[in-house]
Structure 1
């Protein structure tokens, strides 16, 4: 009898152990468990998180099975582990696991999560910022919404992902380390108003908030996981392992793999929002609503546009001489006109203070405006504007494939092109910096007479025209451009080509929402076409204009200083959008001869 009892006991124990081991093995391969550990997909399962202190198992960074076993053991023997890993604890309980230790008291977690209850989650897009290489493509934040009717939304928490960059880091080092690795990065939490102030008030960037359509369980699950990863470290790569990638992966905990792809060599914030708008959650749209928050500069532009010609004339006079506020002509205006003028000038003062322009004059003007406003009747003088800015998911997709036909007096050529990212001056301005160019890895192959050539490789092509919109407000903004690469110049001669680095600086003037003129001084270094030197300089003038329907035109004239024998180059380019993903370009370039080009662009992500 005893041998039979022993045999049955061993059989049951072995079966149970085998079943438990199999269950753990299955759980360790579950997509949610892998996301909780930020493990990469095959061929490797190493975690994106680099600091060993995040993992319970010694080899937990490389082994999700070992990390799961160590987590279960800790939950059974060390109840405070629940406070460090609340999302793991929540998910494992939901999978049917039970633990020998009761639920732990976690006062710090409770205070962070429940002092003001988190009722929803948002992703926030901040438009691009040309003064910071890391923000050229825009930025993505995660927002934990705590606000109620009595609690302001600026008290919401925001979760940021960014590189840990030393103060006063050299710009070239910053770019190289950002592209090729060298910085650690991580998640941090702050009250949202700090980010809104920095982006909207200082850097003058518009914000779009996508509130997600998540249930209470999933909101709590995301909050629990954010608690787990605050303070962890990652390797930072500007092109792919950036804010857009890692914050999108947090949202994928509850909506699945609809936002990111580890096989893609680049991740751009606008792409995440385009995919988010198409994503589903429990058979509904993952996005509940989209809210626009204008920057201080956008608000000021609206104020100026709302003024009548007479009111704008007074605003110009008052900015030049604040004593006009006490003049009979100003005081004779209707009260609402006086309020509108003073309101617009207050917004201008705010912008000038941010830009630190003529601080003494601006301080005197601000005091004069306050005194003038106090003399007017009480009442609401803040104008409510309707903003028409479109959200990022409606913009052109960042990558580009193209085909074109080029014709000169000597031959007809055909090209196929690929551009990694992002937009040029003739692209849609939706959620992008108007009158700017941000292109990386723009390449073309040329086919002619049965032969194939490289027609263009532009590694980096940046233009920021940063126009002076209000000459009367003493605006003096710099325009600039940078281009690095190789291209052929068939309008100069049949075999002309150049490998170059160029930079330019100057000024631009905006005449309407759609029209800008510019003037630049450019410098070139490299193997230049029809040039006996390795350097050259030129003057360039141009105009960019467009219609509300999206048709755009750019005309430019460039003449060399140092190589006077070379003719000036004149270029005219027209862009006609067909839909969000396709446009047609017609370009005419003239130097020694004329070159015509008809191009079809397809935009994708």
Structure 2
């Protein structure tokens, strides 16, 4: 508000230009134009009228511009005729995209000409010509990145011909975080809109380093067929949004949703955001952009981790041990064991050792000894270079199954038949179709299952707030931890041989190993905290285990899993389950589940269910 008053005071103290007279019908028509709505980030309010996603007064020139596109348009036209002496503070300098469009629509040929030095220097430095949508793949070990991320790269006219993408700029939208919130607090505040969201234009090289190296994520680059004029229009609007705050929510008003709005500014005929009324998961937004016809080419950039594993794949056990020895001490390049290797095998070993050293150095402070080892390995590689690294491109992430899942099952529990109805808002479990997803990754958010027994007896079977599992296999070179975390409501065996609905939070950590091609084995230690009406205590802790097999077979994915929880109050609960999914199509699956549960409070229970799963956004 103070900024707006200061601006009006400056206008009043300088010679004014004649503002054109606009009739109400024309104002209303222009204010309802899709392009003006896109520039103001307006949406239809739930009780009628308009509201802007922008949560920042300085973005609006009218006092109630956030809710009245027509009043904001009038205020903008008035501001365009403010004295040119305002310089960089002039509305034409602050809002170049609005200025260009209103000048064209209203044929404003008599506007003052302020000297917009800051904007002109910035725009000339970016020099927008074309745009690329960047999708860093999902990274489970970061709460902000578990669904993936999207950003835009802005290229100059000669970027592709000169292969200078590292000199380009990136447009990124993300949560602005002050301080050092832990992962749990970060996730909670992200879900509840506790962080402001900001657009930022930064060197693409910084983002590339962050996502490929610091987080070891594969990158997908989607070349967009925007014209130079359309790309420039989008960049103009990014200038208008600098330091302007939006509300930020992980599931809808997030990085991907905001970038869709930018693309609608670039090409006003697009209608992308209306497809995401509830959630905007990055892979779904990439799919929407592709289906709109905007994508002309796709390029894949593997992460450092994937490059390292690909280089080490043809090495046998002894050669991998040489990789570890050489990376730890380059004097081993002269050892009898290494020099005895054939020349072509030496090349593979020392290249893998160098990649391992660079992988370990990622995100760490510079270590002179490590830098020296890397230099020695580079010298050895130059003397005996390896063959080019050939990495097979994985399945396109946007070609995986849809995010939301409807579930319909029939089964029996002991001698009682039931029907089960379910809805999962997002987005993938271990048995789902793995095309476009890493094997061993599970992210489920907001899953509800209702069960109907005979005689029309209904009950809530489970309500999962979140279930996240990362089963990344360990190998001779890399030793990642596997982990899982879950929370919500679920049915467990009760003391009257019934099922009791309990609330719980549990998690665990351990290891995963690749036993064969497409076959993973995992073993985790777990802890659980549970509120159970059959227990005397209000909350009861337990320690336990979770282990099993995950097999990618010709029909789909199968899991064989054993679990156990040993409560401090003496209760022992164990289960053995088998799940096999048949992939009928990309977005349709049939799953057979069998489970046997053991409990000190109840007799053993058997359950079998056949479930149809329909993946639909």
User: Normalised by the size of structure 2, how large is the TM-score?
Assistant: 0.86
1:7 alignment counterpart = none
Q: What is aligned with 2:234?
A: 222
The 3-state SS of whatever aligns with 2:473 is: coil
Task: Find the counterpart in structure 1 of residue 507 from structure 2.
Answer: 504
Q: Corresponding residue for 2:301?
A: 293
Aligned residue for 1:53, secondary structure, equals helix
Could you tell me which residue of structure 1 aligns to residue 273 of structure 2? 260
**What are the within-5 Å matches in structure 2 for residues 349-368 of structure 1?**
349-354=357-362, 367-368=372-373
Q: Paired residue for 1:340?
A: 348
Name the counterpart of 2:14: none
Matches within 5 A, 1:152-551: 152-253=164-265, 254=267, 256-261=269-274, 264-279=277-292, 285-307=293-315, 311-312=319-320, 314-318=322-326, 322-354=330-362, 367-368=372-373, 370-371=375-376, 374=379, 378=383, 380-381=385-386, 383-449=388-454, 450-470=456-476, 473=477, 475-489=478-492, 495-511=498-514, 512=516, 514-528=518-532, 534-547=540-553, 551=556
Contact 1:38-1:47 within 8 A present in 2 as well: yes
**Residue range with higher mean Cα deviation, 508-517 or 577-586:** 508-517
Gaps in structure 1 of 5+ consecutive residues: 1-16, 280-284
Q: 1:375 to 1:537 in 2, by over 3 A?
A: closer
**Are residue 582 (structure 1) and residue 585 (structure 2) matched?**
no
Asked whether the 8 Å contact 2:400–2:433 carries over to 1, the reply is yes
Cα 1:410–1:572 shift into 2, 3 Å: same
Q: Deviations over 1:20-47 (max 9, x none)?
A: 3311210011111011011122423121
Write the deviation string for residues 90-113 of structure 1: whole angstroms up to 9, x where unpaired.
222332522312555433323222
CA distance in 2, matches of 1:320, 1:57: 64
1: CA distance between counterparts of 2:70 and 2:200? 28
Quickly say closer, same or farther: Cα 1:444–1:372, change in 2 above 3 A: closer
Separation in structure 2 between the aligned mates of residue 565 and residue 459 of structure 1, nearest angstrom: 25
Name the structure 1 match of 2:6. none
Structure 1 partner of 2:87: none
Residue 109 of structure 2 corresponds to residue 106 of structure 1: no
What is the Cα deviation at residue 148 of structure 1?
Answer: 4.2
Distance 1:575 1:418, change over 3 A: same
- Residue 71 of structure 1 and its aligned partner are, at CA, apart by 1.5
> Does the 8 A contact of 1:502 with 1:522 survive in 2?
no
Alignment check: 8 A CA contact 1:346 1:366 kept: no
- Cα distance change on mapping 1:251 and 1:116 into 2, 3 Å: closer
Greater Cα shift, 193-202 or 404-413? 404-413
Structure 1, 227-236 or 521-530: larger mean CA deviation: 521-530
**Equivalences, count:** 577
Partner residue, 1:144? 154
- 8 Å contact from structure 2 (residues 354, 378) kept in 1: no
The Cα of 1:297 is off from its aligned counterpart by 0.8
- Listed as ranges, the matches of 1:61-100 within 5 Å are 61-79=66-84, 80-100=90-110
Flag the 1:143–1:492 CA change in 2: closer, same or farther, 3 A: farther
Q: Residues 118-162 of structure 1: CA distance to partner in whole angstroms, max 9, x if unpaired?
A: 221122112222233222211111221122433620111111111
Closer, same or farther: CA 142–376 of 1 in aligned 2, 3 Å: closer
Tell me, which stretches of 5 or more residues in structure 2 are unaligned?
1-19, 85-89, 598-603
CA 573–223 in structure 1, closer or farther in 2 if over 3 Å, else same: same
Scaled by the length of structure 1, what TM-score is found? 0.88
Is the 1:498–1:528 contact (alpha carbons within 8 Å) kept by the matching residues of 2? yes
Which residue, 556, 564, 568 being the options, matches 2:561?
556
Give secondary structure in 2 for the equivalent of 1:561. Answer: strand
Counterpart in the other structure of 2:28: 25
SS at match of 1:290: strand
1:6-21 matched pairs, under 5 angstroms? 20-21=23-24
Following superposition, the deviation at residue 213 of structure 1 comes to 0.9
Per the alignment, residue 594 of structure 1 pairs with 606
**Further displaced range: 432-441 or 583-592:** 432-441
Give 1:126-145 correspondences, 5 Å limit.
126-145=136-155
